Amino acid sequence: MTDRLESREKVTGEARYAAEYPVEGVAYAAAVQAGVGRGEVVSVGTDEASRLPGVLAVLSCENAPRLNGVDDGELALFQSRKVSYRGQFVAAVVAETLETAREAARLVRVDYRSEPPDVRLGADRPDLYEPGSVNPGFPADTGKGDPDGAFARSAVRVDATYTTPAEHNNPMEPHATIALWDEDGTLTLYDSNQGSSIVQTTLAKVFGLDKDRVRVVAPHVGGGFGAKGTPRPNAVLAAMAARAAGRPVKFAVPRQQMFATTGYRTPTIQRVRLGADADGRLNAILHDAIGQTSVVREFAEQTATPTRVMYRAEHRRTSHRLVRLNVPTPSWMRAPGETPGMFALESAMDELAVAAGIDPVELRVRNDTDRDPESGVPFSSRNLVACLREGAGRFGWAARDPEPGVRRQGRRLLGTGVAAATYPAYMQPNRATARAEPDGTFTVRIAAADIGTGARTALTLIAAEALKADLDRVRVEIGDSAFPRASVAGGSAGTSSWGTAVVRACEALLGRMNGTVPPGGLEASADTGDEVKGREEYARHAFGAQFADVEVDVDTGEVRVRRMLGVFAAGRIINPKTARSQFIGGMTMGLGMALLEESVMDAEFGDYLTRDLAQYHVPACADVRDIDAVWVEESDPHLNPMGTKGIGEIGIVGAAAAVANAVHHATGVRVRDLPITPSRLLPEL
Amino acid sequence: MRPFAYERATSVEDALARHGDGALYLGGGTNLVDLMRLGVEEPSRLVDVTHLPYDQIQLKPDGGLVIGATVSNSDLAADRTVREGHPVLAQAVLAGASGQIRNLATVGGNLLQRTRCSYFQDASKPCNKRDPGSGCPAREGEHHNLAILGHSEACVATHPSDMAVALAALDAEVQVQGRAGERSIPFEDFHRLPGGEPQRDTTLAPGELVTAVEVPPLEMPSRYRKVRERASFAFALVSIAAALRVEDGRVEDVRIALGGVAHKPWRARRAEDALRGAPATEESFLRAAEAELDTAEPLRDNAYKVPLARNLIVRTLIELGEGT
């Protein structure tokens, strides 16, 4: 139980976030968003804006410098006249003050030649296509046996379609950048991101610079959830604006503009078919997922991939189809793929449990497997059953009457639900250095990111253990691309990936120390590229079980979650205190997914109407009554030197299904379209 | 944000004198400043009226209240006379916004807060309320949380205030001061239905300043209930302010107002008329609710509000009748 090491700096406001660096002579940027959903910019009228005192520059497709193309078309800022979606940045103003910049941005007159935007996602679209692969590189489709035939022949069948809406990451700290160009052409970015090395490489490419001429600084990041996993247009805009103005420029994306420009979880349409024998043993699993992407960039959410590893069944199929629409590009959002995918699969498992008359916990236990059901590769460890059993015991599951819609407390219907969770245990190559200082302390450096997860604390614990040193003698420095190159804080891979490099650097340092430290200190470094490549073949995944207890008001259809419990098997837990926060944070976000979160597409104009936190509802304190997370001890030798699997994302996986299953248990109503709002539930009660 | 002047009024006469030429009065600013940032409101000048001497709640000898326009929502909800004599009002205020916003928001400003319709708040789109004659995309677009009663072709927006719903049920009167002098506006006449002029939320004349709200005594049990997806800090899908007096099993007096269903806090007169003198039973309550909602004209995606409002009326009256 270690307190977050930077907690004092954070609560006293000493910890600096991207937009907070005191930079002399800084100017401010404000962006202009496209007012049409599809078309071309005919002209950009800047006279009125330019006349405003304090305006330093107006940038648009008519005068922006040429940038180098990179994989992500969202970064090709002002490089063409094409408007791909409503809200896309089409111009920007730089001014002496933020107020002037915003007012001038309002005065920029953009004329368009426009066409009606194509924004409707549907399972019936003729232009659905199979992507070459899905995030982060899996095949779009997989199959084994004769799933359609086996499903048709199964004694018990579930065939249901589930939908999840677009959902937006809403980190407390918006996407923000301060950009400074030195006289020698070096670019420094104070930028809110999940990986300074990645931002460094990408921005260097965009601006045609040697990588060493870009420095990205991000020691504290106020949340990301995946939205800051890739550089976003804000970083490019700030850098471009700073060059145009000849001054440092600050650009923090206003909350309203984040909804179009910083990524979101694609809406999904998922058909799940489960075929089982009378005892609930699965014979056929089919999961067909549809999502959307933009015309700017392909992002293929891996929605059906968790179904590939969850349950034993001879006959199986998963597929992904996409459609390109005039919408902002979807991106990573906490457990992309697993989160919507497991909502569908685990809802279908609950429907199967009801159809077969089998307890939902028992049904999942019955379909457990010790090998990856598709590849036959053994799991490095898989403690799903332990999580289900431990959770059922703690939650008081044994007393549960399976009959839906019969428990009442006054005007409220009560119900409980369960869902399983899984998330891959990824590992990325990384580099780190460890220094022994003459004063007996150690400094470890790696360009890792702490986006509020407690990564800094976990890495310090890992380093101290590897160095066999007390915690207060070890300093871990992160969040700077000047430090050894690190992978992104994403995929729940940070602690495992960075930690391995830290351990190897510390081991190398200890190997060189011989008891004495020279006056200049002693440094060792590590690169885990070969180690990651050379790992044995195992299916490596974390597992979990989510339990929820809900009440539903019969007069209003309001759902409140009385109690939630998550039990996780995620390898070794480095720091129980911050780990618990990660788990319950994920579960809270899952509660929001189940009941609240929904970005509403305006079919006429083609943008998301929900543009602030008054309209886009995330859980508030009053929604979170009693959430607890625990874990089962797991010692897995096939992971990494720490024995960790990663915990950032598994907390959200399965949480929405557990709530939805509890709502069904409470009411007898199966809501297959998230979120479960009074408007959807009340008419069915 | 367009540049604007900021001035602080020293007296009501001073405030009135400073109004005009695109000026707006500024209370707590919890809605107006947001709308300025969004480019929805573009005043040339803000006349801050929060320092005017209207920050008292007076209890009148008959049990009625005079609530000054600059009383904060927090102070109103915390006031002992309000909590004891007019619990529905305290409950409604506490159901709104967040603690931080209630600390800043004022009674006068609360009455004048503007709709949260997405199209109204997005200056890049048409909206008859913001830009008369430009059209109403909400009618065919997103209206899941918009009006089912009293709307027009021009506008389907709802009034967002909780406090105002309670005041509508309480037969309050709004005291205003204009250049022509003082006047008192019955609460039901204060907010408008949209008709062909949705840009006008209220019947205030240009420059008129709200100075107080008068609330007559309430001698029956009352309560406020608000339905929302999130347990706090969300606007109502539907809300109800109700008061009921039952004698010998019959409805002696009743007040019902609904929020989240119309362009103004909706006084349910038809339901009240159906109930006065009727037996205080679930059946009567249901008939009364249905009488009120017979006139509802739900849009494509908000028909759920009809059974929701019906259930709320019935359940709230049952609970008031039972004294639970």
Closest CA to B139 of B309, B308, B247, B300: B300
Contact assignment for B1 to A99 by CB distance below 8 Å: yes
pLDDT of residue A401: 96
Mean pLDDT of B145-150: 98
- Given a contact cutoff of 8 angstroms between Cβ atoms, the answer to whether A416 and A646 are in contact is no
Mean pLDDT of A327-347: 98
Question: What is the ipTM score, two decimals?
Answer: 0.96
Domain with CATH 3.30.43.10 in chain B: 1-52
| SS3 at position A205 | helix
Contact assignment for A620 to B233 by CB distance below 8 Å: yes
Mean pLDDT of A6-20: 97
Does the beta carbon of A412 lie under 8 angstroms from any beta carbon of chain B? Answer: no
- DSSP-assigned letters across all residues of B40-103: S---SEEEE-TTSS---EEE-TTS-EEEETT-BHHHHHH-HHHHHH-HHHHHHHHHSS-HHHHH
The tens digit of pLDDT for each residue in B65-122 reads 999 999 999 999 999 999 999 999 999 999 999 999 999 999 999 999 999 999 999 9
Percent of chain B whose pLDDT exceeds 90: 98
pLDDT of residue B324: 63
The tens digit of pLDDT for each residue in A284-329 reads 999 999 999 999 999 999 999 999 999 999 999 999 999 999 999 9
Fold classification of B1-52 (topology level): 3.30.43
CATH tag for A431-533 (out of 3.30.365.10, 3.40.630.30, 3.90.1200.10, 3.40.50.970): 3.30.365.10
pLDDT of residue A77: 97
pLDDT of residue A535: 95
Is residue A280's pLDDT more than 80?
yes
CB proximity list for B274: less than 8 A, separation 6 or greater: B284, B287, B288, B291, B292
pLDDT of residue A516: 82
pLDDT of residue B2: 85
The tens digit of pLDDT for each residue in A556-610 reads 999 999 999 999 999 999 999 999 999 999 999 999 999 999 999 999 999 999 9
Domain with CATH 3.30.365.10 in chain A: 1-21+116-331, 337-425+539-684, 431-533
Closest CA to A110 of A94, A87, A131, A126: A87
Does the beta carbon of B29 lie under 8 angstroms from any beta carbon of chain A? Answer: no
Chain A residue numbers with beta carbons less than 8 Å from the beta carbon of B101 are none
| SS3 at position A555 | coil
Domain with CATH 3.30.390.50 in chain B: 222-322
CB contact burial A518-529 (16+ within 10 A = b; e otherwise): eeeebbbbbbbe
Q: How many angstroms away from the CA of A258 is the closest CA of chain B?
A: 14
Q: How many angstroms away from the CA of A573 is the closest CA of chain B?
A: 33
A9 catalytic per annotation: no
Does the beta carbon of A610 lie under 8 angstroms from any beta carbon of chain B? Answer: yes
DSSP H/E element including A250: strand A249-252
Fold classification of A337-425+539-684 (topology level): Aldehyde Oxidoreductase; domain 4 (3.30.365)
| SS3 at position A127 | coil
Which tokens is B65 given?
A: 């209240």
Is residue B310's pLDDT more than 70?
yes
Is residue A545's pLDDT more than 90?
yes
- According to CATH, what is the number of the domain B222-322? 3.30.390.50
Rounded to whole angstroms, the Cα distance separating A96 from A92 reads 14
Give the residue from B119, B145, B227, B230 with the most A CB atoms within 10 Å of its CB, the best one to mutate.
B230
Is residue A468's pLDDT more than 70?
yes
pLDDT class of A662 with cuts at 50, 70, 90: very high
Mean pLDDT of A611-621: 95
pLDDT of residue A452: 96
Strand B57-59 relative to strand B65-68: parallel, antiparallel, unpaired? antiparallel
pLDDT of residue A554: 98
Average pLDDT of every residue of chain A: 97
- Given a contact cutoff of 8 angstroms between Cβ atoms, the answer to whether B102 and B96 are in contact is yes
Is residue A27's pLDDT more than 90?
yes
Rounded to whole angstroms, the Cα distance separating B256 from A431 reads 68
Closest CA to A331 of A535, A219, A156, A194: A194
Lowest mean pLDDT, pick from A253-257, A311-315, A516-520: A516-520
- DSSP-assigned letters across all residues of A435-489: EE-TTS-EEEE-----SSSSHHHHHHHHHHHHHT--GGGEEEE-SBTTSSP---S
Which tokens is A374 given?
A: 């598709």
Is residue B132's pLDDT more than 80?
yes
Rounded to whole angstroms, the Cα distance separating B161 from B115 reads 9
Rounded to whole angstroms, the Cα distance separating B144 from A562 reads 27
- According to CATH, what is the number of the domain A1-21+116-331? 3.30.365.10
pLDDT of residue A515: 75
Rounded to whole angstroms, the Cα distance separating A37 from B240 reads 39
